[in-house]
Structure 1
Amino acid sequence: MALLLTGCADTGGIEHGNSAVIGTNTAMKRLFKQDARHNPVQAARVEALARAGAPAIIAQIESRAAQGALYQVQSRKGVSAYLSADGSLITLDQGFLSATRGLGGDLMSSEHARVIPMVLARREGAVERTFRHLNGDDRLVAERFVCRVENRGAREIPVPGGATAQTTFLAEICLSEGGELRNLYWVGQDGQLVQSRQWAGDWLGMIAILH
């Protein structure tokens, strides 16, 4: 993925819900110009989306210390696909990571139908989830987790433009035979995700998203 190299996120503050997952002074237009050097054809498509005012996210792959702007190319029933300037895709279901393409070791699918209403309603509870991703040999691997959603309370966090947002911070702690992962969500007063930090598989690791 054609991404702007940056420093890693402040994961200490993030784990406590008090920080922005990505620097709040990030400018999407500047990131796009950085991406444009890598793939002019896809960059032209993304530029057209940007000029048309398409919804956008900023995503950071923490294991690669890389981030970039992606623009919405498709949306249906709450599931939206976002395109980077090199043709890589991130698909979100109401903000919840459901698939990646073109990143290497991609998340092929995730089962998240039960966790979405729980998190957006700021409710605690337990769910089972299965993630399917490609390993280093491009083989499909399915991993089943037992997850617990915890409401960690109100958090005021910085957002782009120098403002702050009032959110509720929730942690989804998932256990499998292979270990533990933690997805983090900040839900705004409108019941939508403001930012999140979500697992995309062993190869990609955590993806932080400004929604």
Structure 2
Amino acid sequence: MIRTLLATMAVATLLSGCGNDQTAQRTKDTVGELRGMIKARLSGKKPAPQTQPDPRLAIDATLKAIPGVPLQFVLFEKTGSYAISSVYGTNGGVVTWVTADKLSMSFDGPVLTATRGFGNDLMSLEDGGASAIIARRGSGTVQKTYRFLDGLDRTARLPSTCTIKPGARETIANGDIRVSATVVTESCSAGGQKFNNVYWVDASGRMVQSVQWGGPGLGKMVFQRLRY
């Protein structure tokens, strides 16, 4: 089942990439708009108005090709590349999503806790209770410990202090999902390094969209749920 699903996702993604120069440019504009959304959210500035329609070619193709399956879009802010993932498996409360090229991302509730296949992976995360606070759209301060691979394939440990605060409600429309969500911001500091994670959480405590830091190698990643 998983092998068939990955093959279908790969075909859908390839189909979405076919087209003329105008299609390619519009897809590039879409990625640019998403990157602008990240920077606007993290800087507190309002995003610039969209000048091109958002075709979401890969998303539309995959939603049509794979009905009835939970799907999640992921954008890598550092490179601008993106993929669509589906659920690979669950272990307790941790859900692992995998892309067509077998990159995987694991979440404990709304929080990214591990990646595999990227190279400089997030090996694990002790979230200090952050997931529960974010899921209930609460506030608090937690101690988190990131563990990730460095350039020498050694596991580096990064303790961080993170302050969580809920904010405004926004309507999120991604793929088959349209829902009102609370924006929850997590501001973290680790020594001299500072970074923010932002989560859009619905009334059921589900993360419908987020911008999360995966470590120095991965940088920021955008996750958008397309179908529950």
Q: TM-score, normalised by structure 2?
A: 0.73
Runs of 4+ displaced beyond 4 Å: 2-5, 16-19
Partners of 2:45 and 2:132 in 1: CA distance: 20
Quick check: 1:31–1:68 contact (8 Å CA) kept in 2? no
Aligned residues of 1:24 and 1:160 also touching (Cα < 8 A): no
Q: Which runs of 5+ in 1 are unaligned?
A: 33-46
1:29 Cα deviation (Å)? 5.7
Q: List gaps (5 residues or longer) in structure 2.
A: 1-9, 18-27, 48-52
* Whole-angstrom distance in 2 between the partners of 1:84 and 1:138: 23
Based on CA coordinates, which of the two structures has the bigger radius of gyration? 2
Indicate how the Cα distance of structure 1 residues 136 and 173 shifts in structure 2: closer, same or farther if over 3 A, else same: same
In structure 2, the residue corresponding to 1:74 is in which secondary structure? Answer: strand
Alignment partner, residue 207 of structure 2? 193
- Matching residue's letter, 2:196: R
- What secondary structure, in the 3-state scheme, does the structure 2 residue paired with 1:86 have? coil
Matched, 1:174 2:205: no
Residues 71, 166 of structure 1: alpha-carbon distance in 2 compared, 3 angstrom cutoff: same
Q: 1:56 aligns with which of 64, 71, 80?
A: 71
1:127 matches 2:153: no
1:13 and 2:54 aligned = no
Per-residue CA deviations over 1:120-140 (Å, capped at 9, x if unaligned) read 111111000000001122221
| Superposition deviation, residue 72 in structure 1 | 1.0
Higher helix share: 2
Q: CA RMSD in A?
A: 2.7
Q: 1:74 aligns with which of 89, 92, 108?
A: 89
The equivalent of 1:165 in structure 2 is 179
Identity of aligned residues (%): 26
Seen in structure 2, the aligned counterparts of structure 1 residues 61 and 31 have a Cα distance that, compared at 3 Å, is farther
The answer as to 2:55 corresponding to 1:28 is no
Amino acid at match of 2:35: A
2:77 aligned partner, one-letter code: E
Aligned residues: 189
Is the Cα–Cα contact under 8 Å of residues 18 and 157 in structure 1 kept in the other structure?
A: no
* Separation (CA, whole Å) in 1 of partners of 2:156 and 2:135: 28
Q: Deviations over 1:121-173 (max 9, x none)?
A: 11111000000001122221110001100112222334335x74311111100
- Deviation string, structure 1 residues 29-72 (Cα, Å, up to 9, x no partner): 6369xxxxxxxxxxxxxx8xx46x43221111110101110111
- TM-score after normalising by structure 1: 0.78
User: AA paired with 1:171?
Assistant: T
Alignment of structure 1 residues 61-140 onto 2, 5 Å: 61-140=76-155
